[in-house]
Amino acid sequence: MPISQAPRSIVIKDLPGGREPHAQTGDGPSVPIATIVHACHEKTVDLGLAHLGLDGLTRETLEPLLTYCAELRCEADAATCPGCKRRTQAQGLETLEDFIRDKAEIVVGDGRVRLKGHGTAIVHTPALEALEKTWSGENYWFWARRVLRKLRHGIRRAHIRGEAFAGAGESPAILLMEPQLPDNIGMVARACANFGLDELRLINPRDGWPNEKARIAASGANFIIDEAQAFPSLDAAIGDLNWLAATTARQRDLRKPVMTPLEVVAEMRMRMARGERCGVLFGRERNGLETDEVAKADAIVMIPVNSRFASLNLAQSVLILGYEWMRASGAATLGRVTNYETPVEAGLNIGHSRPATKDEMQGFFTHLEEELDRLGFFHPPHKRQTMVRNLRSLFMRISATEQEVRTLRGVVAALAVGKGRGRKVP
């Protein structure tokens, strides 16, 4: 949209890095649209607004700012935000090499590694791996659409409460060591709810606790999120446990039993039947557990994996252990069970029908063979018996239901004499 038609809360500033859309929310200084979108996406709407602390920026005044970004109205204003993928595209930076060349210097980590370019800006990045993932920028307009949807309709499934699968102390505690991303905590909570692991403990979560982003990622596993406890240290989190297993993909020089998920579940069930409290410790997303932390466990859990790619993400690891836990409980069902859906068993599901009887199958064979005889299918005649045997073997293999036999007989009749307008006249 032309600048003259932009909402009064949007101002376009000509800065050294290019034209940037800013939000004017009151008498105070203007703020880049990207800053507002990032805060509300990262921390959820209400916490993001509180974090920004901008005079006049409320849920009501936020919506037009999000709409401006979500609908890419910045394109008509020839404006882009720092860190947005649209700016990278507008600058013609198609590869990481282009990005490095465009900067004066990129400082990696503590500064011992520096990448020199031909531009004027200096960029800091914690690691080259992080730079590879972030150099091209973020899709701020996509973030704005997600925040706008939550602003208008609320957090999906936020109203769901749910309840624990087992009684207190009847499932092992799942401990996450210094989890970095609330999204990962939410996905772990969802995996816990899937498989009856009702107790989640967080050790020094990076972004604090409670965290609404974790609730969003939990996708309805709110009772796990609501009951999750945060502890300042590993010692505080495991103080009431009798037995602890620690997960790792790396070999450790520790004299401890190494178990698979199947074996550790069997061990915990045996101990919990005696009244002991058990837990499983999972490491950080980036680098897992330190050896000193593993040393505090009674056993090590290692998941059978491809030896050349052994790293699992946090929720995947919990999911695998949870699957074994639920499978051993004897209380699992195949799929969901509701007021309208009953438990199902593995194998062929024939619904309300029943397997066809031998008489029903024989009636179908007689019908089919009579029509094939009439149409001269069995030729030469001396091969009739072999062809009949082959046809009967074929149809017997399908283990037809009585409804399917009726359908097959209808097909034979339709092919023999036709149906409706296609009925053949003798």
Q: Hey, which residues does 281 pair with through a beta bridge?
A: 175, 246
119-143, pLDDT tens digit by residue? 888 989 888 888 888 899 889 999 8
Instruction: Please check the confidence at residue 243 and state whether its pLDDT lies above 80.
Output: yes
Under 8 Å between Cβ of 392 and 362 = no
The confidence score (pLDDT) of residue 95 equals 92
Sequence-distant contacts of 53-60: CB under 8 A, at least 24 apart:
54/23, 54/25, 54/26, 54/28, 55/25, 55/26, 55/27, 55/28, 56/25, 56/26, 56/28, 57/23, 57/25, 57/26, 59/151
- Residue 27 is given by DSSP the state S
Nearest residue to 398 (alpha-carbon basis) of 364, 352, 424: 364
Of the listed ranges 97-106, 338-347, 349-358, 406-415, the least confidently predicted one is: 338-347
Model confidence, pTM: 0.61
Of the listed ranges 48-52, 173-177, 320-324, 330-334, the least confidently predicted one is: 330-334
164-220, pLDDT tens digit by residue? 666 677 899 999 999 999 999 999 999 999 999 999 999 999 988 988 888 888 888
